[in-house]
Structure 1
Amino acid sequence: MIRTSTRPAAVAVLAVGLLALTACGTLRADAGAGPTPPGVDSSLTSASPTAPDLVASARAAHDKAFPDVAARCKGVIGGSPTAGPGTPDPLPTDPEAAKYAENHAFKQQKRLTPEARCRGEAHAQRIRKALTGPGAPAPANEADLTSALARLGYPADSGSVYRAGDTLGFSYFVPETGPCVTGRLGTPATVTAHGAYLEGGCTEPRGGH
């Protein structure tokens, strides 16, 4: 499998750095941060007292870059993070099942607020239409897919592009705010939004503890 990815750009680093990470000794960014501001994805909080300002600034930059997404999700604010595919579930009571769940916890994802889910699904739809819609040229290789995503506003340094067998795929962090958008250009093509993995990043981890 060939993977294309680069060091996050300064703005993407700010957003990704605000993600609340857990496990493997990683410092939780939300430790002591206080309540999350209304409508803000809980994965974008940090212990810094200026976190609300940073989040607001990142959201403003996102909305300027993606006005169509901003307009679609303008009224979707507040609420608690909701479960989605891959999000943590309570450990089962059966000891063996509980051990299995614990060993695979690294594949679980952060929950998304309604606002973050709306934003992610809007980006997923936008990407899917551009890459697979009528008349859309199908990317032939990783470089083609990387260029196509960059033209849509998703720079190479905010994610990765790869090939698994004959299928191209990608996992990107939405610039400035998140969440993650992951896609596979198979038959049929799939593009979905999800929270970052509990151990960090948008690409599913390949190993646990």
Structure 2
Amino acid sequence: MFRRTSTAVLSACALLVLSGCGTTSTTGGGAPNTSPAASPSVDYAARAREAGERHDRQYPEIAARCAGLATSLPRAPGGEGTDPPADKYAENNAFKRELPDTPRGQCLGRAHADRIREALTGRGKTVPRTEAELRTALEGLGYSAGPGVVHAGAGQTGTLWFQLRVHEGGPCVGGQLHDPVRIETHGSYMEGGCWEPRGGH
């Protein structure tokens, strides 16, 4: 009795070993079908670094202007709020806050704003009057001016606005082409993007 039971147990174990315990199976065509490995996590720091390197190759004069500036964020001031109503207002309107930018990022934004301003409004330049003209001018400067970058007010003489990101993860540059023309840099907003959010939650 004991010998038969032992033989049965050993036979069952041998079958389990030969089956591979489910780690590898074969499909109808005989090809191995291994279980998928966990997908690697995205390295956002490396992605931002690569985007910054592409930017510096495309705009070497701006990279030189901002060389040597810190690429890390300044330390945020500590301390708790002492005005509950003001704290609640700030919390409810947090979606309108701009994310802080590094000293180098701020410098890049100012340099690009100056570059765009000179190209669009400098001596001998004709300020774009339509969305198509503004989009063409921005793309001619090497910026992505796809959907959502350029907006126009109503009517033939409506104000033109634009908001673009200098590079992936970089500062925003935007402005209005009206009297007076205003082009400036700012950080992206808490909820993402370069256009100021219209509503909260």
The CA RMSD over aligned residues, in Å, is 2.7
User: Residue 15 of structure 1 corresponds to which residue in structure 2?
Assistant: none
Letter in 1 for 2:111: A
Query: Percent same amino acid among aligned pairs?
Result: 48
User: SS of 1:172's equivalent?
Assistant: strand
User: Residue 172 of structure 1 corresponds to which residue in structure 2?
Assistant: 164
Give deviations 1:31-70, integer Å, cap 9, x for gaps: xxxxxxxxxxxxxxxx956333322221111111111111
Separation in 1, partners of 2:148, 2:67: 25
Gaps of 5+ in 1: 1-46
Separation in 1, partners of 2:148, 2:80: 31
Query: Which of 120, 130, 147 lines up with 1:131 in the alignment?
Result: 120
User: Residue 90 of structure 2 corresponds to which residue in structure 1?
Assistant: 101
Pick which of 175-184 and 152-161 moved more.
Answer: 152-161
Q: Structure 1 residues 90 and 163, CA, compared in 2 at 3 Å: closer, same or farther?
A: farther
Letter in 1 for 2:165: F
Matched-pair contact (CA < 8 Å) for 2:71–2:105: no
User: SS of 2:47's equivalent?
Assistant: helix
User: Residue 201 of structure 1 corresponds to which residue in structure 2?
Assistant: 193
Query: Which of 162, 178, 181 lines up with 1:189 in the alignment?
Result: 181
Q: Structure 1 residues 141 and 158, CA, compared in 2 at 3 Å: closer, same or farther?
A: closer
User: SS of 2:149's equivalent?
Assistant: strand
Separation in 2, partners of 1:104, 1:116: 24
Q: How many residues align?
A: 159
Q: Structure 1 residues 57 and 153, CA, compared in 2 at 3 Å: closer, same or farther?
A: same
Give matches, 1:76-115, under 5 Å. Answer: 76-81=69-74, 93-115=82-104
Separation in 1, partners of 2:51, 2:193: 18
Gaps of 5+ in 2: 1-39
User: Residue 43 of structure 2 corresponds to which residue in structure 1?
Assistant: 50
Q: Does 1:154 align with 2:143?
A: yes
Q: Structure 1 residues 100 and 77, CA, compared in 2 at 3 Å: closer, same or farther?
A: closer
Separation in 1, partners of 2:174, 2:79: 25
Q: Which has the higher helix share?
A: 2
Matched-pair contact (CA < 8 Å) for 1:158–1:173: no
Once the two structures are TM-superposed, the CA of residue 125 in structure 1 deviates from its matched residue by 0.6
Separation in 2, partners of 1:70, 1:145: 25
User: SS of 1:156's equivalent?
Assistant: coil
User: Residue 25 of structure 2 corresponds to which residue in structure 1?
Assistant: none
TM-score by length of structure 2 reads: 0.70
Give deviations 1:102-156, integer Å, cap 9, x for gaps: 2221110000110100111100110111111111111111111111101011112
Letter in 2 for 1:175: H
Q: Which has the higher contact order (CA 8 A, sep 6+)?
A: 1
Once the two structures are TM-superposed, the CA of residue 78 in structure 1 deviates from its matched residue by 4.0
Give deviations 1:155-207, integer Å, cap 9, x for gaps: 12385111235211100011244111111112221111111100000000000
Separation in 2, partners of 1:116, 1:182: 15
Larger radius of gyration: 2
Query: Which of 51, 64, 67 lines up with 1:71 in the alignment?
Result: 64
Q: Structure 1 residues 193 and 132, CA, compared in 2 at 3 Å: closer, same or farther?
A: same
